[in-house]
Amino acid sequence: MKMRMTSIAAIALALSLTAGCATRRAERPIDPPTETEVTPNDGLGNDGSQEGGPGSRADFLRSVPADRVFFELDSYSIDGEDRATLDAQAAWLQRYPNVRVTIEGHADERGTREYNLGLGDRRANAARDYLQSRGVSPDRMTVISWGKERPQNPASNEEAWAQNRRAVTVVPQ
């Protein structure tokens, strides 16, 4: 009995020589950034806007037919209705040349995560390119893709998907 215990322990020890160094230090939590955000992009469009005067987000939302344009499945083309919307946005931006905007590109849930990041980027760029063609300086526009991470409508149906395939022009509050 004593002999056997010893031999088992010896075997175990011998076998463990390649195993003993396996303990690694646990990964430490990653601290959040501490920089102050001027206009943090949260992917929530023009949500939470308050009353505001000329050149404000509220003024923008009052002045244009929509803050966003919509796309067909897997498409990034700007159609006639989109052009009317973007024309009005461009006219407003011409009136307030100091306003800088962010254009969010979004996709519906029917694409894979990474592909949708590329697709959202395409859509935001399509809207930006059109605004630029209407005289808005590209220096005033930042694009960001949110892929399928920020759906406008969380439902899984055609109506929701159509609402989620969008490019939103976001004006600072």
Residue from 111, 130, 165, 169 that binds another protein (CB under 8 A)? Answer: 111
Q: Is 28 a binder of another protein (CB under 8 A)?
A: yes
Residue from 134, 150, 162, 163 that binds another protein (CB under 8 A)? Answer: 150
Query: How is the beta sheet containing 141-147 ordered, strand by strand?
Result: 68-70, 166-170, 101-106, 141-147
Q: Measured between alpha carbons, how far is 106 from 117 in angstroms, rounded to an integer?
A: 8
Q: Is 48 a binder of another protein (CB under 8 A)?
A: no
Contact 74, 87 (CB under 8 A): no
Residue from 8, 72, 135, 173 that binds another protein (CB under 8 A)? Answer: 8
Per rule CB under 8 A, count of chain residues that contact another protein: 64
Q: Measured between alpha carbons, how far is 1 from 112 in angstroms, rounded to an integer?
A: 61
Q: Measured between alpha carbons, how far is 106 from 101 in angstroms, rounded to an integer?
A: 16
Q: Give the residues lining the site for another protein (CB under 8 A).
A: 1, 4-5, 7-9, 11-16, 18-20, 22-35, 37-41, 43-44, 74, 76, 109-115, 117-119, 121-122, 124-126, 129, 142, 144-146, 149-152, 154, 156
